[in-house]
Amino acid sequence: MIEMVVSFALLGIFVAMSTVIISNVTGLYYHVRGESYARQVGDIVVNKVSSEISGSFYETRNNTLNARVDVNSDFTIMLNNSESTVTPDGNSIVLYDRTNTGVRIYASEGVLQIYYLPIDDQITPENTREGVVWKFDPQIYNGYEIKALYFAPANQEVNKTIADLFDMEEPSTGSYDADVVAVYMKLQSGRYGSFDICRYVRMYNVSDSANWYYDNAENMYYIAE
């Protein structure tokens, strides 16, 4: 009888220890898998954003064509000949991409959205086009959604402010030139938790003499000579 009691006691201890070990291993497995999924999703999204920013148009004589970071809480877009108000999850960046097409990049409804601005070509009417919003196929997010997407001129104080929002190490803004934009993104999954990403993107067409200027009236950062 004593041997049976001891055996069951030892078996109980073994089962309890096994449960703890299996639980820890399972938790670690899901954490690693979740981080792997988040990295895959993050790379796809940020690579798309980076490709738009890196080749953005730059003009020394017409600053309105240059990239600008819009820190307003909302903005309007034109779809199907009517205006719609968008409240981004973060802020947005407006630029002309390598095809000289005007775009606004932002996150809304949990996904990356790229708004291609309307084109009203009076000289060549066949080039006229309505505004359209481009999105990835929802399946590429693998259960994640974008909770926040922020852009910041890397050499401006706002970069430190946004880094603090993401609990990231304070960047050394003096180490960056005006041709670098910081991109911050927070991914959230109900199963795997949250994952933060920060990437610095260089705009290769921007001249060495350029700098960022903040417009108080419009609440925007403009890059110009």
pTM assigned to the model? 0.85
pLDDT at 107 over 60: yes
C-beta of residue 158 within 8 angstroms of C-beta of residue 219: no
Residue 1's pLDDT is 61
What's the CA gap between 73 and 204, in Å, rounded? 29
What's the CA gap between 149 and 146, in Å, rounded? 7
pLDDT at 218 over 80: yes
pLDDT confidence of 25, banded at 50, 70, 90?
very low
Residue 40's pLDDT is 92
pLDDT confidence of 213, banded at 50, 70, 90?
very high
Strand 132-134 and strand 92-96: the pairing is unpaired
In this structure, what are the phi and psi dihedrals at residue 63, rounded to the nearest 5 degrees? -65, -20
What's the CA gap between 140 and 207, in Å, rounded? 36
Output the six-digit token pair for 182. Answer: 């910081």
**End-to-end Cα distance, the chain:** 91
Question: Three-state SS for 76?
Answer: strand
Output the six-digit token pair for 197. Answer: 């990403």
The whole-angstrom distance between residue 48's C-alpha and the CA centroid of its chain comes to 10
What's the CA gap between 183 and 201, in Å, rounded? 7
Q: Mean pLDDT across the stretch 190-213?
A: 93
Q: What is the dihedral of CA 160, 87, 200, 114, to 10 degrees?
A: -170
Residue 200's pLDDT is 98
C-beta of residue 197 within 8 angstroms of C-beta of residue 187: yes
Strand order in the sheet with 193-202: 145-153, 180-189, 193-202
Percent of the chain with pLDDT over 90: 65
